[in-house]
Amino acid sequence: MTARAVPAAPGSGGGPTGRRLRAAVRAEAAVAWRYGVVGLAAALAVLWSLTLAALPAPGAQRLLPLLLFVDTAGFGALIAVGLALFERVERVDAARGTTPLRPWEPVVARVSVLTVLAAAIAVPLALASGVPLGPGAVAATTGGVALTSVLLVAACLALGGGAATLPGAFLRLVPGVALLITVPVLHLTGAVHTPLTFLVPTTAGAELIRLGTSVGVSGAQPAMPVPPVPAVVAAAAWRAAGAVAACAWAARATAPSADTSGHPSAPPRGSGAGAGPAPGTRRAAASGSASAAAGTGARPRGRRPLLMFLRFDLLPGRRDALILVGLAAPVLLSLVLRVGYPPMAALVQSAYGFDPASAAPPVFAALILLHVPVITGSVVALRFMEEADDGALLILRASPLPLRGYIAYRSGLAGLLALIGLAAAVPLSGLAPPASAGLAAAVLLAAAAGPLMVLAITATASNTVEALVAVKALAAVSVLLPVLAWTLPDPAVWMLLAAPPAWALTVLPGFPGTGLPPALVLACGVLWTLVLCVVAARRTEARLES
Amino acid sequence: MGDDAVRVDGLTVRYRGASADAVSGMDFAVSAGEVFGFLGPSGAGKSTVQNVLTGLLRRYRGSVRVLGRPLPDWGRDYHERIGVGFELPAAFGRMTARENLDVFASFYGGPTADPGRLLARLGLADAADRRVGTVSKGMRMRLNLARALVNRPSLLFLDEPTSGQDPVRAGAMREVIRSEAERGAAVFLTTHDMRTADELCDRVAFVAGGRIVAVDTPQGFKRRHGRPGLVAEYDGEDGRPRRRVFSASGADAGELAALVRSGRLTALHSREAALDEVFAEVTEVRL
């Protein structure tokens, strides 16, 4: 066999660690490319840039720092977790664990690649918003995004990388990163003026974004004192320490080790948490019992296998956090809005002289009406893809449970969760217009987007990572596009109806309106959603059977 | 075969929360250039030992020396010298076979094998540029072996390397593994495939209940657990097939010679045990 000598890259420097790190970054870049992460970054950059360009310049410039902090800097957070979980399915983590790479090197590579993509998204967004961008402003803006991204991605990897499933990872992430996001947002909006906010390391990144995007923009931000140099240095050092700690934590959480249970290379235990079979195995056992019954002559009648699976899937304690996440997230979101929105609106009015009451319908539409089905649809779709990844779906397909029944059940579950979530979140949020036939029709139409979200993801993604990429892209399309209706002229609104979630807005009180009666909109919207659901379900079925 | 590539003395492992040792006081050595088979029923402790030797499991008692140094004295450089082929395929599904090897090769500081030649050696030349997620399990297992060989390891750990292969491919894989041993690599092989163990291993250790219960060459095991003598199958005077055992003492050698001369002999077998029978006997696995 011919051996290849390792070329000593002239001038590359850094010694063995630098060489390994470069190799890890190259590998990570290849992964990001192949799993569609780079394409997603480009798509989000285009979508958000178009949105900012469509908004009036002052509004776009006000929105920009929040958008860059919350969405752009957090771009890689969930994707990093998805990649970590999927690498466990593909056993790449175990294979990499037997190479000379140190455990922290793949983590640094992953954080770096996702951070570079986040910083790259920031530039067109800033340009589209009309913010004057000199070299200093670009450096501050992209630097702030990058600093925040490092912390968020590493923290999410640390918190969620060790979870068994994506819904389980979400449950760990939400409380873990809540402070890292809310405190800087309060700082950015000027709701809180205290140096104590810098105790949260992401606030330094948010401050850099604020500085970068407010240069030359009069009145774009509420007046805030310029921080003294020692404070900036201290904040930077604190943030750097936070980034290093988060990366080290992430390396520890994601490094393959047979010392702990749950890793594929770990031997089975006689007892304890690792003793039980994997979720997929348990699901297989459930369907297997149905098969066994059939084999003894007690053939299940009619839809019995589907009912057995449903019972197994939903009973508390037998599965992970799917239902909990699906039900809790909308309630949590609406409670946060109920508590946080009034003071935030008052603050915006006092700081900018802008009355946010006129923006209440689009805010309600974006954050509740369109967002809740996206949440429930995403959670269910990710469960679907996990079942495909771990082979459980293959086993189910060989059981009496029909594939179409499974697809219908999963998409129906998303619709039901969306309806329950909206029924709770709409009144709880405090943002909803008064009850009316229009609002009821809007809720029904919005809930119908839950199943479509599931089927659109399963029809386009072939693994969990691609599903996460699809979630991010479809969420932007499902929430962002319809809300543009408030800023677009009438003829363009009709074009937005190609996206089924937009139908829900047309009957929402406060919408500029198509003038159609709610019953007609409900019928047409449901029909259009159903057509797309059938197309997506067929494509999903074909993909699974091919 | 040369110096010890692996020397294990008194290896004991107990997992957190477990009431008994997974591996208990295990001793063995593997020489450079030797293929050492590690056989035993599921749960016997084979994977635990492999996890210790590959550095994935660090909580153990006893002495473990690998490639001339105590295992704890090795840093991550140890991984420059070893190759690990897992029981199940491990690769980036969205990358091609060649890209997978390129990526993994880039992690090593020393010379690495040419991915194209390595893939051709394992019968994967035609699939080199196909995404791994689209190829068969057998192909992915061969890619597993290719990845384990990409850094030209001095110590090779293989877990069920011929899983999912047809007999021809399995034979070809055994030849590749044998040639790695001839190159000087020590091969630590875990398998339930007794044919692979029989054909490939220089020595075999049977493991049961966390202990090594017997070590010998496959031939030694088969002889010791077999019975002396030969079994002749021949056509009787009436044309019906017959079977007769001839003793190893030579007392009935004349009759055997006469049978051979008669032209009615159809087959002649030794009475050594098959490795499967040795497995069942030594590890006391009963259904």
Give residue-wise pLDDT tens across range A277-328. Answer: 333 333 333 333 333 333 334 444 455 667 767 766 766 545 556 677 777 8
- Token pair 């690769």: residue: B91
B181 lies in the same domain as B214: yes
Kindly state whether residue B195 falls inside one of the protein's structural domains: yes
- CA nearest to A348, candidates A56, A62, A55, A54: A62
Kindly state whether residue B210 falls inside one of the protein's structural domains: yes
Are A124 and A49 a contacting pair, CB within 8 Å?
A: yes
On the CB side of A83, how many CA atoms lie within 13 Å of its CA?
Answer: 31
Residue A132, pLDDT score = 81
3-state secondary structure chain B: CCCEEEEEEEEEECCCCCCCCCEEEEEEEEECCCEEEEECCCCCCHHHHHHHHCCCCCCCEEEEEECCEEHHHCCCCHHHHEEEECCCCCCCCCCEHHHHHHHHHCCCCCCEECHHHHHHHCCCCCCCCCEHHHCCHHHHHHHHHHHHHCCCCCEEEEECCCCCCCHHHHHHHHHHHHHHHHHCCEEEEECCCHHHHHHHCCEEEEEECCEEEEEECHHHHHHHCCCCCEEEEEECCCCCEEEEEECCCCCCHHHHHHHHHHCCEEEEEECCCCHHHHHHHHHCCCC
Kindly state whether residue B277 falls inside one of the protein's structural domains: no
**Partner-chain residue, chosen from A4, A90, A101, that has the shortest CB–CB distance to B107:** A101
Position with higher pLDDT, A165 vs A378: A378
Residues A488 and A412: their CA atoms lie apart, in Å, by 33
Residue A220, pLDDT score = 46
B95/A23 CB distance under 8 A: no
Residues A334 and A420: their CA atoms lie apart, in Å, by 13
Q: Would you call A299 an interface residue with chain B, using a CB distance cutoff of 8 Å?
A: no
Cα A263 to Cα A104, A394, B46: the distances in Å are 18, 22, 16
Phi, psi (5° rounding) for residue A82?
Answer: -60, -40
Indicate the SS3 state at residue A3.
strand
B118 lies in the same domain as B233: no
B142 lies in the same domain as B244: no
CATH number at residue B157: 3.40.50.300
Chain B residues with CB under 8 Å of A462 CB are 133
Q: Is pLDDT of A345 > 90? A: no
Residue A47, pLDDT score = 87
Residue A279, pLDDT score = 36
B127 lies in the same domain as B58: yes
CA distance to partner chain A, nearest, from residue B208 (Å): 15
Residues A26 and A23: their CA atoms lie apart, in Å, by 5
Residues B202 and B220: their CA atoms lie apart, in Å, by 10
In the beta sheet, which residues pair with residue B233? B243, B267
The Cβ of residue A268 has, within 10 Å, a number of other Cβ atoms equal to: 12
**Partner-chain residue, chosen from B90, B92, B113, that has the shortest CB–CB distance to A94:** B90
Q: H or E element: which one contains A4? A: strand A3-4
Average pLDDT, chain A: 80
Kindly state whether residue B278 falls inside one of the protein's structural domains: no
A5/B104 CB distance under 8 A: no
Pairing of the two strands B241-246 and B230-235: antiparallel
How many whole angstroms from its chain centre is CA A178?
Answer: 14
Give A265's DSSP letter. Answer: T
B241 lies in the same domain as B133: no
Phi, psi (5° rounding) for residue A100?
Answer: -70, -5
Kindly state whether residue B280 falls inside one of the protein's structural domains: no
Residues A335 and A142: their CA atoms lie apart, in Å, by 33
B112/A2 CB distance under 8 A: no
Q: What angle do CA A40, A45, A49 make, to 5 degrees?
A: 150
Residue A473, pLDDT score = 87
Q: What ipTM was assigned to the predicted interfaces of this complex? A: 0.77
**Interface probe, candidates A28, A34, A86, A98, chain B, greatest B C-beta count within 10 A:** A98
Kindly state whether residue B168 falls inside one of the protein's structural domains: yes
B246 lies in the same domain as B107: no
- Please give the residue range of the domain that contains residue B251: 227-271
Q: Is pLDDT of A2 > 80? A: no
Residue A359, pLDDT score = 77
> In which band, very low, low, confident or very high, does the pLDDT at A476 lie, cut at 50, 70 and 90?
confident
Residue A216, judged by CB atoms within 10 A of its CB (0-12, 13-18, 19+), counts as exposed
Give residue-wise pLDDT tens across range A402-415. Answer: 888 889 999 999 99
Kindly state whether residue B276 falls inside one of the protein's structural domains: no
B28 lies in the same domain as B119: yes
Are A280 and A390 a contacting pair, CB within 8 Å?
A: yes
B112/A267 CB distance under 8 A: no
Q: Would you call A7 an interface residue with chain B, using a CB distance cutoff of 8 Å?
A: no
Chain A residues with CB under 8 Å of B104 CB are 95-96, 99
B64 lies in the same domain as B182: yes
Q: Would you call B152 an interface residue with chain A, using a CB distance cutoff of 8 Å?
A: yes
Residues A291 and A301: their CA atoms lie apart, in Å, by 12
Are A247 and A178 a contacting pair, CB within 8 Å?
A: no
Kindly state whether residue B286 falls inside one of the protein's structural domains: no
Give residue-wise pLDDT tens across range A202-228. Answer: 998 998 898 888 865 554 444 455 566
B174 lies in the same domain as B249: no
B64 lies in the same domain as B200: yes
Q: Is pLDDT of A111 > 90? A: yes
Residue B279, pLDDT score = 86
Q: Count how many domains chain B has.
A: 2
Residue A253, pLDDT score = 78
> Which of A155-159, A317-321, B139-143, B172-176 has the lowest average pLDDT?
A317-321
